Amino acid sequence: MRKLGLLTTPAFILALAVSAGAQEKPLTTKKESEGTVKVNVSGTVQLDYVWRSKEMEAAVVTLGTNGTGESENTFEGYAALRLDVELSDKVAAVLEVGNERVAGGGILAWGQTDPVTGSTSQDIVLREAHIRLSDFLTPALSAQIGIGTWSFDVRGKGSSFAFDPRHSQSFTRNLSTTADTGASLTNAPEELQPVGGVLTYTRDALTFELVLLPAVIEAGPASDDEALYAADFWYRLDGKGSRVGAILAVVSYEDGATRGGGTTSVITLGGGASLKGFVENLEIFGEIYLQFGDAGINQADGDDLDAGGIAFTAGAEYTLSPQNIKVGGSITIISGDDDTVGTDDDVDTFLSYENVNDLMIIEDMYFGFDWDSNYFAFKAWGELPLSVGGGKDNLVLSAIIGITRTNEDVEFGGGVSEDALGNELDVKARWILNKQVSFRAGIALLMGSDVLEESMGGSANPDSDDSAILFMVGTDVRF
């Protein structure tokens, strides 16, 4: 019965889309509301075949398949049905239901249920639900209330360096007063559903946002919830896409019994810029963030924990015209902690809701380790669009190389410490069949990762290795 539900979910959604597309008029609700209500039906089906070498198997939690010590291959993805409802010129609503790609601290394999957590890729959940109000109180003010989609994305390409709670794990994922250990490599992915409101005021080139998300993670009493409050602004420098932005954010969470309890307030101050057009076809970008405030209580001595993380990234991308060939590079520095005793009162690791997935093995939450703190990376990439089968730039080939390490050593005990995360090469291809369907494939090679080798047991384990391989091929269907 579970397999039947799995197979029929995408078919059911596709059938709804076909029936909606067959309508000559927009879908409407009750007859008396025809003049004020319009419902647009859309959806997404994403399905990937993923093969991970045995070196990744223990660290990347794919529910229902881990623990064999061998390479694994799974089908992963999600299907979603979305309703965009226009109630009037000033009021709209969004409702999206479907299954999840990650949940329960692991990646959900299609058609499998984890025997321990009971998590399954077949559960239909509420993925998104919010109301949008235009001209709210004043013509330049709008509001979004519900499961929020807000992020602070300097480049505007869906890769937020510090704040994207909708596509991230808990802010406390890397919270620690001591150095990283072999367990830090383990990825326990989770997509959050932050609930609250966002007010947006736009006037000419200026945009101000007030973000109120009291339940990024709902944990019962209000004092136990993980909450995010922020104010940010954007200023458009020209008509070519250049802009600068800044943010002041406060994240609070219940510190938990393992660290002595207490409610926190971690303050993040930072911002960035994306500059285009000063040199033709060149984009220069950069971001920097500083943290301070109360990160909890040190259970060892009862003192307050002081947040002190820092994160920085900068890079450039050049587009060769008219071929649209892109080449670029960037450097990333994210602070970590180097203390090996529990009485230290500083949390030097940068805490965030990041959503950076450039390197499939090291950085990607859906495929790899999702290493996102105590991190140094130099990346260089290129992208080549080709025209095949009568299309225009419909086959995109890309490659990226990342040279990475930890800023502070990862401690493995017995006097063993390492900082080499490894060098990764990814090669990808995306074939855009049409506006609704595309196919993707990619292979990632990680080499020289002493952190990975020691996390597998080092010389004590004859199967430990400093390299890993990931392969995927998949499809995206949108309607």
Task: Encode pLDDT of 12-33 as tens digits.
Answer: 444 444 444 444 445 555 665 5
The answer to pTM > 0.85 is yes
Condensed to tens digits (0 to 9), the pLDDT of residues 400-446 reads 999 999 999 999 988 899 999 999 999 999 999 998 999 999 999 99
**Spatial CA neighbour of 109 closest among 82, 76, 138, 142:** 76
Q: Which has the minimum average pLDDT: 93-107, 188-202, 388-402?
A: 93-107
Q: Which CATH class is domain 135-478?
A: mainly beta
Share of the chain above pLDDT 90, in %: 57
Q: What is the pLDDT of residue 340?
A: 77
User: What are the residue ranges spanned by the domains of the chain?
Assistant: 1-130, 135-478
Report d(CA 213, CA 226) in Å as an integer. Answer: 9
When pLDDT is cut at 50, 70 and 90, the band that residue 113 belongs to is: low
| Angle at 426 (CA atoms; ends 420, 428), nearest 5 degrees | 165
Q: Which has the minimum average pLDDT: 29-43, 156-170, 180-194?
A: 29-43
Structure-model confidence comparison of residues 69 and 368, the more confident one:
368
Q: What is the pLDDT of residue 13?
A: 43
Structure token pair of residue 175: 């919270």
Structure-model confidence comparison of residues 296 and 329, the more confident one:
329
Q: Which has the minimum average pLDDT: 140-144, 224-228, 395-399?
A: 224-228
Q: What is the DSSP string of 276-320?
A: ESSSTTEEEEEEEEEEEEEEEE-TTT-PEEEE--EEEEEEEEEEE
Structure-model confidence comparison of residues 33 and 322, the more confident one:
322
Q: What is the pLDDT of residue 256?
A: 60
